[in-house]
Amino acid sequence: MTSKSYNSINGILLLDKPLHASSNQVLQKVKHLYKVKKAGHTGCLDPLATGMLPICLNEATKFSQFLLDNEKHYFVVAELGTQTDTGDAEGQVIATQTVPPISEEYLRSVLLKFEGEIQQIPPMYSALKHQGTPLYKFARQGIDIERKPRDVSIYQIQFKHFNNRQLALEVHCSKGTYIRTLIEDIGKHLKCGAHVIELRRLKVGHLEQSGLITLTELQALTANELQAQVKPISVMLAPLPKIMLADPLDERFWLGQKLPYADLPSGQWVRVYSERYGFIGVGQGESEGQLLVPVRLMQKNC
């Protein structure tokens, strides 16, 4: 496979992020391996975290928002009785407390209090920006920036086990949820503090971890094998309804023209295909279900 054909790759790679690497470090290695001009991940994972890191290549970056906005599933192990400045095992211990006797029944009742719509204050050690600068850069200088609470949704917290101060959970949550903050808040409620010692992202939206590949495995592949690991852009958008357009409507859509399309609810996102060219972009319903509006379009030569 030539450099030119590498640059023509458009799709999504489901990477199993390694421990202690930043999401951006992994992204740059993947970008180098595939020799692509554009690449982006669909939501940061902390260095401590492993698991699903979807990486969009070339044209797929146009559609990354559909995964960024999706719900997430995590497996997390927390250690009770110790707090750190980062909220996880990467940070410095700032407080220790005795863990009181806690029954499984009581733990389950506490976890229920955190399900539903809740507010979180984003941690200082995060990539969230203040005046264009990531908060973690201020934190490293000992500067604390005031952060406003944010609304997030915790759909379910599933108790896995509790043993020797370690609490294991599975969390199904909305985008923008900080698992470290959730664990810290649970620790405060238990009056003993807590921090994350293990974190793994299991799912992003409808994408399952069965298709994950590690960076080490990726680096051992041949050129053709690398290309085979890239899934089509349409895989990212599988939950969206599908619309097929024939000539000349496909050409008009590709030119950015609104098309008459009955019974398409206003605001409804759809995958749009051409009978001749395959997947050509994403559209949205408008004007009480009477129009199909182009929103994100593939380049025509892809």
What is the per-residue pLDDT across 47-85, written as a single tens digit (0 to 9) for each?
999 999 999 999 999 999 988 889 999 999 999 999 999
Indicate if the pLDDT at residue 34 is higher than 70. yes
| Range among 147-151, 153-157, 260-264 with highest mean pLDDT value | 153-157
Indicate if the pLDDT at residue 276 is higher than 80. yes
CATH architecture of the domain covering 72-204: 2-Layer Sandwich (3.30)
pLDDT in tens, 159-214: 999 998 999 999 999 999 999 999 999 999 999 999 999 999 999 999 988 889 99
Give pLDDT, residue 2: 44
Where in the chain do CATH 2.30.130.10 domains reside? 240-297
Q: Which fold has domain 240-297?
A: 2.30.130
State mean pLDDT over 262-282: 92
- The active-site residue out of 46, 88, 185, 250 is 46
State mean pLDDT over 83-91: 94
pTM for this one?
A: 0.91
Band (pLDDT 50/70/90 cuts) for residue 302 is low
Is 185 marked active-site?
Answer: no
Of 32, 46, 232, 200, nearest to 123 (Cα)?
Answer: 46
Give the CA angle between residues 18, 28, 298 to the nearest 5°. Answer: 110
CB of 142 within 8 A of CB of 124?
A: no
Where in the chain do CATH 3.30.2350.10 domains reside? 3-69+206-235, 72-204
Rg (CA), the chain: 22
CATH architecture of the domain covering 3-69+206-235: 2-Layer Sandwich (3.30)
